[in-house]
Structure 1
Amino acid sequence: MADHDEDRFAEDIFQRALSNREQHGENLLESFIPRLDESVQVFNNVGPDDWNKPCYWPPGPEPVRVLLDMRIAELTMHAWDIRSTTDTGYHLSDDSVGVLMQTVDRAVRRAFRPDEGIQQPIRYRFNVIGPYEAACDIVMTNQRTHIEPCNAQSAGVTFRCDGETYVLVMYGRLSPDDAMAQGRLTFQGDTELAESFGRRFKGG
C-alpha cells in the first residue's frame, strides 16, 4: 500500500504489546494461549481452494498461505525471545531455521527504510552455510530493499554466517555489529560498506 508507514506500523505493534502486558499482568501467558488456539482453529478451517485467496494485512493484501507462514515465523521468534532470556544456550532448531529462512524476504522489506541518499543500488551478498545452505543478495536502492538470488553482478561486500545467525540478524534479534563482534558474521570486501549494513538496518 502506497500510504503504509512501516515505522508507525511497528510502533502500533509495540504499543499494543505494552497495553496487553499492562492489562493482563502476570496472567499474560494464560490470556495468550486461548488466542493462539483461536488462530490455530482459523487456519484449520481453511479449505484446500482458499490458501491463495488474498487476505487483509496492513502493509497490503497477502494470500492466506503467506499469513500462515508469517504467523509461524512470529511464534518461533517470540519463543526465542522468551527462551533465550532464561537459557543462554538456547538455539533455534534446524527445522525452525529452515522455515524462517523462507520468510526472510518479508523481514528484509521491513528492516530497511527508503534512503534518498543512495544514488546507485547497493548489493550485500550473503553466503549461508549448512545445514540449510543459501546464497542471496540483499539489494538496496533509494526506494526499497529486496532479496534476490545471487547472479553475475558483483557485490560490494559478501557476508558469511550460519542459518541461525542469518535469521536472528534479519529478524532484528541480533544486530549486525554484534554478530560481527562475536565472530558469527564475517565478511569479505569493502569494510565501510559492511559497516553501513548495520547502520542502515532497522530490524525485521
Structure 2
Amino acid sequence: MASNQTDLLIQTVMNEATPLGDLLAGLDESAWSRDSACEGWVIGDVVAHLAGGAATWANSINQAVAGDSDPPEGQEFMAPGQRGSEGTAEAARSSHQQFGMQLMENFRTGYAGLAQVLSGLKADDWDKPCFHRRGPMPIQDFVSLRLQELAVHGWDIRSGLDQTANVSEEALPVLTGRVSRWLNNAFVPGLRLPAPVRYRFDISSPVPVQEDVVVTRESFSIQPVSRAAANVTFRCNTGNYILLIYG
C-alpha cells in the first residue's frame, strides 16, 4: 500500500479519535447516561466499546506484524452467519459499569497507543494478515474497519447529544469503500422473497454512489445502475447512505 495512502488513513483515524475525545472530556457523568443513537446503548456504553477497541486492535496489529493472525488469548473466530452484536453490547455495558468515567482516560491512552503502533508500520506490513473475529484480513483493511467504528459510533454519540449531527465527511470515502464487505457480513440468506428485489442508490454528494443492490432469497449482488426498473430508489447524501447501510 502506497505510503501516501497509509499516511492519509492514519491521519483520518486520528482526526476522528482526537475531536471525539475532546467532546467526551467536556461531558459530565449525566451525559454519559443519555441514550445514544445506537439502539439500547447509552453514550457511556459506546465510549466503553470504542475505548476497549483501541487497545485490543493495537495488540492485534502488533501480533500481525510479527506474523501471527491467530486469535489472541480469550478470543476466537466466529462461525459463518454467527451474529456478534449481543455479545458486543454486553461487553460494552459491563465495561461501562466497571470503569465509569475512567473510560475517558482509557479512550485517550488507547488511541494514543494505537497511533504509535500505526506510525511504526512499514510499507510491507500493511498487507500482512491480521486477526479479526470474522476471519483474517490485511492490516490496511483492519485499520479501515477501525475508522468505520470511530466514524459510525462517533455519530451515535454526537447524535445522542445533538440530533442534527452528521457522519464525519472526512471518513466517507473509506466507509463507502467498505459497503460490500459490510453487506457480506450482515446478509442473512433464506429470505422469503417471491422475486428478486432491486434497491437503487442514487447518492450525489459529497461522495457519489450510483449502484444497484439486487437481493434474492439466498444471496445479493452489487451491480452498476442498469435500465432495469428498481423496486426502491434511495436518494440522499452520503452520510445518510452510510447510516442506512450500517444500520
Relative to the length of structure 1, the TM-score reads: 0.73
2:238 counterpart of 1:169: no
Residue 216 of structure 2: aligned partner: 141
Which structure features the higher share of strand residues?
A: 1
Residue 172 of structure 2: aligned partner: 97
Residue 81 of structure 1: aligned partner: 156
Written as runs of structure 1 = structure 2, the 5 A alignment for 1:150-161 is: 150-151=225-226, 153-161=228-236
Flag the structure with more relative contact order, 1 or 2, with Cα contacts below 8 A and sequence separation at least 6.
Answer: 2
Q: What is the letter of the counterpart of residue 140 of structure 1? A: V
Residue 112 of structure 1: aligned partner: 187
TM-superposed deviation, 1:106: 2.5
Structure 1 residues 24, 158: closer, same or farther in 2, change over 3 A?
same
Q: What is the letter of the counterpart of residue 6 of structure 1? A: Q
SS at match of 2:124: coil
Which structure features the higher share of helix residues?
A: 2
Q: What is the letter of the counterpart of residue 54 of structure 1? A: P
SS at match of 2:213: strand
TM-superposed deviation, 1:23: 1.2
Q: Contact conserved, 1:6 with 1:110, CA < 8 A, in 2?
A: no
2:80 counterpart of 1:4: yes
Q: Contact conserved, 2:81 with 2:188, CA < 8 A, in 1?
A: no
Q: What is the letter of the counterpart of residue 35 of structure 1? A: G
Q: Percent identity?
A: 34
The separation in 1 between residues aligned to 2:195 and 2:130, in whole angstroms, is 35
Q: Contact conserved, 2:151 with 2:168, CA < 8 A, in 1?
A: no
Residue 182 of structure 1: aligned partner: none
TM-superposed deviation, 1:80: 1.0
Which stretch shifts more, 91-100 or 27-36? 91-100
Relative to the length of structure 2, the TM-score reads: 0.61
TM-superposed deviation, 1:70: 0.5
Matched residues, number = 171
Residue 27 of structure 1: aligned partner: 102
Instruction: Write out per-residue CA displacement over residues 155-188 of structure 1, whole angstroms, 9 at most, x where no aligned residue.
Output: 333222211110111121xxxxxxxxxxxxxxxx
Give unmatched runs, 5+ long, in structure 2: 1-76
CA RMSD, 1 decimal: 2.3
The separation in 1 between residues aligned to 2:117 and 2:199, in whole angstroms, is 39
The separation in 2 between residues aligned to 1:80 and 1:17, in whole angstroms, is 17
The separation in 1 between residues aligned to 2:178 and 2:100, in whole angstroms, is 32
The separation in 2 between residues aligned to 1:146 and 1:109, in whole angstroms, is 10
Give unmatched runs, 5+ long, in structure 1: 173-204
The separation in 2 between residues aligned to 1:147 and 1:50, in whole angstroms, is 30
Residue 72 of structure 2: aligned partner: none
2:106 counterpart of 1:63: no
Q: Contact conserved, 1:111 with 1:170, CA < 8 A, in 2?
A: no
Which stretch shifts more, 43-52 or 116-125? 116-125
Q: Contact conserved, 2:78 with 2:133, CA < 8 A, in 1?
A: no
